[in-house]
Amino acid sequence: MIEEKPRKKRKAQVAKQDCVACGCCTKVCPKGAIRVYKGLYAQVNEGLCIGCGRCAAECPAAIIEVVKVDA
């Protein structure tokens, strides 16, 4: 059996203070991992996020960043 090495995963992060809560990111997330919290800012559920970057590409305020995290 081949042992897998730990790999880095990608996750989305939102700069909450700059979010305009438009909801564009929520519409493109294939896993439903991002939602607008109390109409104030987008929040990512890291357990669901697959790091595809669709939310970051769609964000008109350009405040979502996809970063590498240790698996």
Distance in angstroms (rounded) separating the CA atoms of residues 51 and 68 = 9
**DSSP state, residue 2:** P
pLDDT tens-digit profile of 19-28?
Answer: 999 999 999 9
Inside any domain, residue 42: yes
The mean per-residue pLDDT over the stretch 9-24 comes to 93
Range of the domain at 56: 8-70
CATH of the domain at 21: 3.30.70.20
* pLDDT at position 69: 85
φ, ψ of residue 68 in degrees (nearest 5): -85, 140
